[in-house]
Amino acid sequence: MTGGRRRREGENLGLVAPAEPRPELMVWEALNIALDRALARDEAVFIVGEDVGLYGGSYRVTQGLYARYGEWRVRDTPISENSFTGLGVGAALVGARPVVEIMTVNFALLALDAIVNMAAKLRYMSGGQLAVPLVVRAPGGVARQLAAQHSQRLEHMFLNVPGLRIVVPGTPQDAYWQLTQAIEADDPVVVLEHELLYFEKGSFDPDAPPPPMHAAAVRRPGRDVTLIAWHRMVKVCLEAAGALAAEGIEAEVIDLRSLRPLDLPRLVDSVRRTHRAVVVEEDCRFAGAGAEVAAALTEAAFFELDGPVARVAGEDVPTPYNAALEAASIPDAGRVASAVRRLLGRAAGGPAATQSPSEQTGAQP
């Protein structure tokens, strides 16, 4: 239900950053290009958040956009998370496609009412009369010594909310594709970004046709075990897969890319070949997203599995400040590799072992 919006088609087109295939691009730049193109292409798009304008965004994601599109389309807000997220909801109801940046996901806790009680429910409660094409972007994850209040993952908080979509891009290409798709989607989408991936480089082609927003991607094929991860844990899994390959274990690494919906068919397909799966997540183990992945996969592919779906996850503690303790609180490649060895009944670096089943995975030898 848009009121007769004034069209200023093409006004900004000459100013769009050149988006050409570039061999090396960082995640923040890909997000920036996605926003730039969306603002140029569609007048319904505007950005709100703390320091997204003049300052250019805490992680540079909105750099240059304020100068290009002006304060009404790139709006610096006061520190009022619930209300500026709710502002996005209200505007979305009348035809806008707002992109709300929450400075870090930790502050999204103050905007949960707007996200959970409003954005996720209004289409349903209104009997389909209203749509909420809202994007909420939030950087998060365990970064470097930011301590407990600034270092957490809240995937689990959004996961159990019907009406939301949740994407977790981890590469420049996915960041571009999925943010673009999120803006174009007619549902509220939470885009979770990882603070340690913003300066991660990767190949980038803005004109390559994107896979569906929720599709998982195989990052490394393998036949012995399926490692399922997202965000930074994909890198950890690839590192573990490298080490395991030297021992003759071929791990398949799947980047989920989306947590709601889950690309379960892709996971089942992989497990049909490998018969073993480990979910690796940075979020705390208890009731994290990994628990849902493990449960859904077990239910859908139980008869294909040769052992339980194992989880390697963050420890159930608030994130400590001390660097060594902080590192110990989240999975690393070593922990992933040893979980795989236990699941396969192998000793470290050696052939098949005869040790007893691990208490962590309960795997049968």
**Is 12 or 82 the residue whose CB approaches other proteins more closely?**
82
Q: Which of 37, 123, 235, 346 binds other proteins (CB under 8 A)?
A: 123
331 binds other proteins (CB under 8 A): no
d(CA 233, CA 251): 14
**Is 88 or 307 the residue whose CB approaches other proteins more closely?**
88
Place of tokens 């193109």: 37
* Segment interacting with other proteins (CB under 8 A) among 69-77, 139-147, 148-156, 224-232: 69-77
- Residue 275 known to be catalytic: no
Burial (CB < 10 A; 0-12, 13-18, 19+), residue 265, is exposed
User: Using CB under 8 A, which residues numbered 271 to 310 contact other proteins?
Assistant: 296, 299-303
218 binds other proteins (CB under 8 A): no
d(CA 231, CA 228): 11
269 binds other proteins (CB under 8 A): no
Beta-ladder partners of 251: 225
Q: Quote the least distance from Cβ 319 to other proteins, whole Å.
A: 26
The type of residue at 240 is A
6 binds other proteins (CB under 8 A): yes
The gap from C-alpha 325 to its chain's centroid, in whole angstroms, comes to 25
For residues 169 to 198, the per-residue mask of contacts with other proteins, x marking binding by CB under 8 A and - elsewhere, is ----------------xxx-----------
Q: Quote the least distance from Cβ 268 to other proteins, whole Å.
A: 7
Q: Quote the least distance from Cβ 324 to other proteins, whole Å.
A: 38
**Is 94 or 328 the residue whose CB approaches other proteins more closely?**
94
**Is 114 or 142 the residue whose CB approaches other proteins more closely?**
114
**Residues comprising the chain, all counted:** 365
d(CA 278, CA 305): 11
163 binds other proteins (CB under 8 A): yes
Q: Which of 261, 318, 349, 350 binds other proteins (CB under 8 A)?
A: 261
- Residue of 50, 81, 252, 281 marked active site: 81
219 binds other proteins (CB under 8 A): no
Task: Count CA within 13 A, CB hemisphere, residue 250.
Answer: 9
282: left (phi over 0), alpha (psi -120 to 50) or beta: alpha
Q: Quote the least distance from Cβ 93 to other proteins, whole Å.
A: 6
Q: Which of 118, 251, 278, 279 binds other proteins (CB under 8 A)?
A: 118
Q: Quote the least distance from Cβ 101 to other proteins, whole Å.
A: 15
Burial (CB < 10 A; 0-12, 13-18, 19+), residue 9, is exposed
- Dihedral sign, Cα of residue 217, residue 206, residue 30, residue 262: negative
Q: Which of 72, 207, 209, 246 binds other proteins (CB under 8 A)?
A: 72
* Segment interacting with other proteins (CB under 8 A) among 161-169, 198-206, 342-350, 357-365: 161-169
Q: Answer yes or no: are the C-beta atoms of 102 and 81 closer than 8 Å.
A: yes
**Is 155 or 195 the residue whose CB approaches other proteins more closely?**
155
Task: Number of residues interacting with other proteins: please give it, by CB under 8 A.
Answer: 62
Q: Quote the least distance from Cβ 83 to other proteins, whole Å.
A: 4
- Residue 150 known to be catalytic: yes
Pairing relationship of beta strands 251-255 and 225-229 according to DSSP bridges: parallel
46 binds other proteins (CB under 8 A): yes
In the complex, which residues of this chain contact other proteins (CB under 8 A)? 1, 3-6, 46, 72-73, 75, 77-78, 80, 82-96, 98, 113-114, 117-118, 122-131, 162-163, 165, 185-187, 214, 260-265, 268, 296, 299-303
Residues involved in catalysis: 81, 150
